[in-house]
């Protein structure tokens, strides 16, 4: 705070946030969130808007250092409007707890697609293309220190790659300069229990990477 600002505060003329020595609110980011939260529920850019119950925006700390990106909402997410609920969500919460993360506190979770593909089919390229700008905007607003891409669609979308999950694991990639680590999607892990150990390795790798940043 400059001397002039300090004097204004002492005189009771400074803004309230200055009085508490709190960091300046990022007005631009706040406006960006408000705009985005209006745009997503109103979006009809791809055919998925016709079958959705609601859009699934994302959840968590908008100032988090950690960001997790998944694929698309499933039936429960479509019903409740929150990503990663149900069995896959429980597994994810357990994985997060293992590295001291909690969805409402210090991590932000979002999907590539904001609407549910019918029957939980794979996202189509056109849907990903139309929806990815929302995710990119979320990342730009959050400015995480580390991104974990969960599953093939998240990893391939953010890295503009068609490589397999197996070949992308265990490395620090970059998305717009932000370190990005690839692991399996929790829904896949529910079907393929032996790969849970690999996902655990990925999380430990992510935690080591975060500590080194």
Q: Which of 108, 117, 193 has its CA nearest to residue 147?
A: 108
Per the CB < 8 A criterion, the answer to whether 96 and 70 are in contact is no
| Minimum distance of ligand SF4 from residue 67's CB (angstroms) | 18
Beta-bridge partners for 173: 180
Phi-psi region of 130 (alpha: psi -120 to 50; beta: other; left: phi over 0): alpha
Residue 130 touching ligand SF4 (CB under 6 A): yes
| Minimum distance of ligand SF4 from residue 94's CB (angstroms) | 28
| Distance (Å, whole) CA 201 – CA 40 | 34
Residue 55 touching ligand SF4 (CB under 6 A): yes
For strands 107-111 and 66-70, give the pairing.
parallel
Q: Given candidates 92, 95, 96, 131, which one binds ligand SF4 under the rule CB under 6 A?
A: 131
| Distance (Å, whole) CA 102 – CA 37 | 22
Q: Which is nearer to ligand SF4, 91 or 115 (CB)?
A: 115
Q: Given candidates 71, 78, 127, 202, which one binds ligand SF4 under the rule CB under 6 A?
A: 127
Q: Which is nearer to ligand SF4, 79 or 196 (CB)?
A: 79
Q: Given candidates 103, 114, 152, 185, which one binds ligand SF4 under the rule CB under 6 A?
A: 114
Q: Which of 89, 91, 132 has its CA nearest to residue 109?
A: 89
Q: Which is nearer to ligand SF4, 45 or 190 (CB)?
A: 45
Residue 64 touching ligand SF4 (CB under 6 A): no
Site of interaction with ligand SF4 (CB under 6 A)? 40, 43-46, 48-49, 55, 113-115, 127, 130-131
């Amino acid at each position: 705070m400059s001397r002039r600002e300090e004097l204004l505060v002492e005189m009771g003329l400074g803004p309230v946030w200055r009085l508490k020595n709190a960091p300046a609110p990022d007005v631009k980011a706040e406006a960006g969130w408000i705009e985005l939260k209006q745009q997503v529920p109103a979006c009809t850019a791809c055919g998925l808007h016709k079958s959705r119950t609601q859009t699934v925006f994302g959840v968590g700390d908008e100032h988090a250092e950690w960001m997790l990106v998944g694929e698309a909402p499933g039936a429960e997410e479509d019903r409740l409007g929150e990503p990663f609920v149900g069995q896959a969500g429980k597994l994810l919460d357990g994985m997060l707890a293992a590295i001291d993360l909690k969805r409402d506190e210090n991590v932000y979770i979002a999907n590539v697609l904001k609407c549910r593909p019918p029957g939980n089919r794979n996202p189509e390229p056109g849907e990903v293309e139309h929806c990815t700008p929302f995710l990119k905007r979320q990342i730009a607003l959050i400015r995480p220190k580390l991104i974990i891409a969960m599953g093939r669609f998240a990893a391939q979308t953010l890295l503009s790659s068609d490589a397999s999950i197996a070949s992308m694991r265990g490395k620090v990639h970059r998305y717009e300069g932000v370190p990005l680590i690839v692991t399996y999607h929790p829904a896949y892990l529910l079907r393929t229990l032996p790969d849970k150990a690999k996902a655990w390795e990925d999380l430990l790798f992510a935690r080591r990477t975060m500590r080194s940043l």
